[in-house]
Structure 1
Amino acid sequence: MIQLNYRDSKPIYEQIKDGLRRLVVSGAVKQDEKLPSVRELATNLSINPNTIQKAYRELEQEGYIYTIAGKGSFAAQRADVASGRNEELMKEFDEIVKELLYLCEDKDILIKRIEELAKGGTEHDTGK
């Protein structure tokens, strides 16, 4: 489900957020599907429940999940994801594209990759 890299400079709660976000975005966790409880996920990953709670809280603020008191946390509808997340991702996208262009990546290859992803393709290497 979620892989943690203890050598990564990214904090554990952010790795958990990224992993859960990826599961929701990819459809591996369906809309309204119940997520593991904080305690259950903390036990499975052998980490402090407060770390899981922080990741869940931030994912809820971003709109990826919602919580029902006494029931648990669930994957939200795509329409509920905060629009601010789009802006954040577009800024990251712009920076990445600028860097790829600086590194002499062909813009047609980038366009083709975007089109493949839009059709439901998966990530792949550029063959370099």
Structure 2
Amino acid sequence: MIVIDYQNRKPIYEQVVERFQRLILTGAMEPDTQMPSVRALATELAINPNTIQKAYTILEQKGFIYPVKGRGNFVSGNQDLKEQEQTVFFQKLGTLIQEGKELGVSKELCLQKTAEFYEEGRT
């Protein structure tokens, strides 16, 4: 379901949070879908269950999942999450554009490169 990059400097729990956020926001995990159990996911990824529990706690605090006592965690059906993430994206984009302007990048070049990256699906 998710893949962890053990060479990445980012903490494992943050990688788990990011991977699940992406799956939820893209619709790969539909609302009310049960999340893998902490123990099962920890075994699958060969990491400490406390790491998974920390990631699930963060996902719950951010509204991506909700717990059901005795049954586990489930994907939230909160539609505002995508809008919130888009707002954060546009804030980051605004900061990058400002940096580009300070470096002398023209509007035309910025739009051209943006279109190229968008079409390539470049990450």
TM-score by length of 2: 0.77
SS of match in other structure, 1:81: helix
> In 1, distance between residues paired with 2:14 and 2:6?
12
> In 2, distance between residues paired with 1:82 and 1:125?
20
For structure 2, which runs of at least 5 residues remain unmatched after alignment?
none
* RMSD of aligned residue pairs (Cα, Å): 3.1
SS of match in other structure, 2:47: coil
Deviation at 1:79, TM superposition (A): 2.9
The amino acid across from 1:50 in the alignment is: N
> In 2, distance between residues paired with 1:71 and 1:38?
12
Query: What aligned pairs does 1:1-128 form with structure 2 within 5 A after superposition?
Result: 1-79=1-79, 81=81, 88-99=88-99, 102=103, 104=105, 106-109=109-112, 112=115, 124-125=121-122
The amino acid across from 1:124 in the alignment is: G
Of all paired residues, the percent bearing the same amino acid is 38
Larger Rg: 2
The size of the alignment, in residue pairs, is 120
SS of match in other structure, 1:125: coil
> In 1, distance between residues paired with 2:76 and 2:95?
28
Deviation at 1:7, TM superposition (A): 1.1
More displaced stretch, 86-95 vs 24-33: 86-95
> In 2, distance between residues paired with 1:2 and 1:99?
33
The amino acid across from 2:42 in the alignment is: A
> In 2, distance between residues paired with 1:123 and 1:76?
31
> In 2, distance between residues paired with 1:108 and 1:82?
24
Asked if the contact 1:35–1:75 (Cα under 8 Å) also holds between the matched residues in 2, the reply is yes
SS of match in other structure, 2:79: helix
